[in-house]
Amino acid sequence: MSLTNFAIIESTLREGEQFANAFFTTAQKVEIAKALDAFGVEFLELTSPLASPQSLEDCRTIAALPRRTRILTHTRCHMDDARVAVDTGVDGIDVVIGTSSYLRQFSHGKDIPYIIEQAINVVEFIKSQGVQVRFSTEDSFRSDLVDLLTIYRAVDQIGVNRVGIADTVGVANPRQVYDLVSTLRKLVSCDIEFHGHNDSGCAIANAYCALEAGVTHVDTTVLGIGERNGITPLGGLIARLYATDRSLVRKYNLPLLREVENLVAGIVGIDVPFNNYITGFTAFTHKAGIHAKAILNNPSTYEILDPADFGLTRYVHIAHRLTGWNAVKSRADQLGLELTDDDLKEATAHIKALADEKPMALEDVDAVLRAWHHRIPVPHAQTALAEITHRNGVAA
């Protein structure tokens, strides 16, 4: 496994610009580039300078920023594009050409010998300009395997820096990715990149399997934004790698993840999903009494990620019918209310009964705990329920 030696190619400023809601201004691109640089991704990939006049300017501007991350741009595998791209000052150019029968028939209409000749010309030209070059095939998983391997071998032999496999339509599953990468790993000596779309929900697993099989570079975008429903999300890949071995992702500034995601979410006008990896608002919320008890004793019982490593905190949710007395006790301790175990168990039973009647808030739990602490008789659920209903402005 080459898991210890991988780099992230962060493509929010290329694939991410293909997201339906993305219309980045130059200032926004610069802000995103700086945030990702601070997070520590190894590469940023930018929209082709041929896309529009502003895209060309933006390539130049971002390439000229003081930064640690290396800057790549992305173009068709075509001499006209390569000439413009080498002139922007980027460190590398990612070229791509369609090899599936669909793309060959319905897109560029070229056959395999032509594609190989074109690839060789473009790769040799970019290298001769002292710029790094990656060659990738679009829709790799619906391309003929012999064609693919023939093309990759040809560019490897002329010294391409990296070849890329792209699951352009999100059709591949982890085992297929593992198989293709393993085959390619034996065939070429250059680096290998994986780019995977998420149409069937496999983008993170596919990227992970690609790494297990020997890729050196993985494409991500912040929150996975991209064409259609996007690609491997940066945070999801980080979570997956951390879960395997947290030392794999120590090279990144993990507490910045939430900030980077909030920045991009704000710019493209979306919310961070509630169930997002690491930063979703429920990602470290524990609810069931049995979970809460174990979490309070040792968080690892139900957490594979330590929220503190990401500058986040966990939350034990106690105001509901699934609560347990250990969790309720921890709240009483927080409030400095001394209660015997028997009192706590009684108070917990009362909370559960109330929760059966009405949604509860933490302050309702606190009211019950205070009542028990002061030995205020609360004869039955009805009394406290009346208080809640009153506060919520609903007639009891």
Give the residue numbers marked as catalytic: 291
C-alpha 126/C-alpha 83 separation (Å) is 8
Decide if residue 37 touches ligand HCA (CB under 6 A).
Answer: no
Type and span of the H or E element at 156: helix 145-157
Q: Which is nearer to ligand HCA, 11 or 279 (CB)?
A: 11
> In whole angstroms, how close is the CB of 188 to Cu ion at the nearest point?
21
Residues 6+ apart with CB under 8 A from 383: none
Q: Report which residue type is found at 248.
A: L
> In whole angstroms, how close is the CB of 310 to ligand HCA at the nearest point?
28
Decide if residue 210 touches ligand HCA (CB under 6 A).
Answer: no
Q: Which is nearer to Cu ion, 45 or 261 (CB)?
A: 45
> In whole angstroms, how close is the CB of 384 to ligand HCA at the nearest point?
57
Positions 222 through 241 that interact with ligand HCA (CB under 6 A)? 227
The window from 13-21, 38-46, 52-60, 142-150 that contacts Cu ion (CB under 5 A) reads: 13-21
The window from 151-159, 163-171, 253-261, 295-303 that contacts ligand HCA (CB under 6 A) reads: 163-171
Candidate residues 195, 329, 350, 352; the one interacting with ligand HCA per rule CB under 6 A: 195
Question: What are the backbone dihedrals phi and psi of residue 285, each rounded to the nearest 5 degrees, phi first?
Answer: -100, 125
- Residue 43 pairs in a beta bridge with 9, 70
Per-residue string for binding with ligand HCA, 69-98, x by CB under 6 A?
A: -----x-------------------x-x--
CB < 8 Å & 24+ apart, contacts of 339-346 = 339/369, 339/372, 339/373, 343/372, 344/372, 346/372
CA 37 to chain centre: 16
Q: Report which residue type is found at 61.
A: T
Partner that binds at residue 147, options ligand HCA, Cu ion, none, CB closer than 5 to 8 Å by kind: none
Size of the site for Cu ion (CB under 5 A): 1
> Looking at beta carbons, which residue is closest to Cu ion?
15
Number of residues that make up the chain: 396
Cβ atoms of residues 34 and 65 within 8 Å: yes
The window from 8-16, 69-77, 131-139, 302-310 that contacts Cu ion (CB under 5 A) reads: 8-16
Query: 145, 140, 146: which is closest to 96 by C-alpha?
Result: 140
Cβ atoms of residues 2 and 214 within 8 Å: yes
Write out the residues near ligand HCA by the rule CB under 6 A: 15, 18, 74, 94, 96, 136, 138, 164, 166, 168, 195, 197, 227
